[in-house]
Amino acid sequence: MTKYAMAVDLDRCQGCRGCMTACKVENNTVEGNFWMYVFRFESGTYPDTEMSFLPRPCQHCDNAPCVKVCPVGSRFKREDGLVLTDADRCIGCRYCELACPYGVNYFNWQKPDDAQYPIVDWQDDSLDPVTGGVIPPYKNPDLDQLWGDEQRRTAGGGHAKGIMEKCTFCVQRVEKGLDPACVETCPTDALVFGDIDDSDSPVSEYLRENRTWQLLDEAGTKPSVYYIGGRPPSREVTEIERPKATV
Amino acid sequence: MTSDTKSRTVLPQGVGKFSAKWLMFTAAMVAVLVIGILAYLYEANQGMIVTGMANTGTQGGVTWGLYVVMVEYFIGVSLAGIVLAAFAYVFNVKVLRPISRLAVLLTVGSLMVGVLAVLIDLGKPIRGIINMLLYVRPQSPFFGTFMLVAVGVLLTSLLYLYLDGRRDAAYLAEFDSSLRWYHRLWAAGYSDTQAERERHRRTMFWLSILVVPLVVIALSTEGLVFGIQVGRPGWFGSLQGPDFLVLAAASGLANLIVLTAIVRRVLHDDYVLIGRSVFKWLGGLLLAATAVALYFQVVELFTLLYATPGNERLLADALLRGPYAWIFWLGLVLLGLGLVLLVLQAARREWSVGLLVVASVAISTSAVAERYLTVIPSQTHGMLLPYEPGSYFPTWVEFAVVGGLFALGALLIGLFIKVFPIVPLNGADSDKEVLVDA
Q: Nearest residue on chain A to B147, judged by CA atoms? A: A71
Number of structural domains (chain A) is 1
Q: Nearest residue on chain B to A165, judged by CA atoms? A: B55
Q: Is any Cβ of chain A less than 8 angstroms from the Cβ of B379?
A: yes
Q: ipTM value, please give it.
A: 0.90
Contact yes or no for A92 and B387 at CB 8 A: no
Contacts of residue A214 in chain B, CB cutoff 8 Å? Answer: none
Q: What pTM was estimated for this model as a whole?
A: 0.92
Amino acid residing at A11:
D
Asked, for residue A247, whether it belongs to a domain, the answer is no
Contacts of residue A239 in chain B, CB cutoff 8 Å? Answer: 386-388
Contacts of residue B127 in chain A, CB cutoff 8 Å? Answer: 89, 91-92
Asked, for residue A233, whether it belongs to a domain, the answer is yes
Asked, for residue A244, whether it belongs to a domain, the answer is no
pLDDT at B3: 46
Q: Is the dihedral of CA A138, A141, A146, A149 positive or negative?
A: negative
pLDDT at B428: 37
Q: Which of B61, B124, B134 sits opposite A163 (nearest CB)?
A: B124
Burial code (b: 16+ CB inside 10 Å, e: under 16) for B45-63 equals: ebbbbbbbbbbbbbbbbbb
Per run of 10 residues, the mean pLDDT along chain A (length 247 residues) is 95 95 92 94 90 96 96 96 96 96 95 80 76 70 91 92 96 96 96 96 94 93 96 86 70
pLDDT at B270: 59
Amino acid residing at A60:
H
Q: What CATH number has the domain bearing residue A52?
A: 3.30.70.20
Pairs across A and B, CB distance < 8 A:
162
Contact yes or no for A71 and B137 at CB 8 A: yes
Which tens digits make up the pLDDT trace of B247-297? Answer: 999 999 999 999 999 998 888 755 567 888 899 999 999 999 999 999 999
Query: Do residues B44 and B210 make contact, with C-beta atoms less than 8 angstroms apart?
Result: no
Region for residue B193 given its phi and psi (left: phi exceeds 0; alpha: psi -120 to 50; beta: otherwise):
beta
Contact yes or no for B137 and A73 at CB 8 A: yes
pLDDT at A124: 77
Contact yes or no for A91 and B139 at CB 8 A: no
- What class, spelled out in words, does domain B12-419 have in CATH? mainly alpha
- Per domain, the residue ranges of chain B are 12-419
Asked, for residue A103, whether it belongs to a domain, the answer is yes
Q: Nearest residue on chain B to A243, judged by CA atoms? A: B58
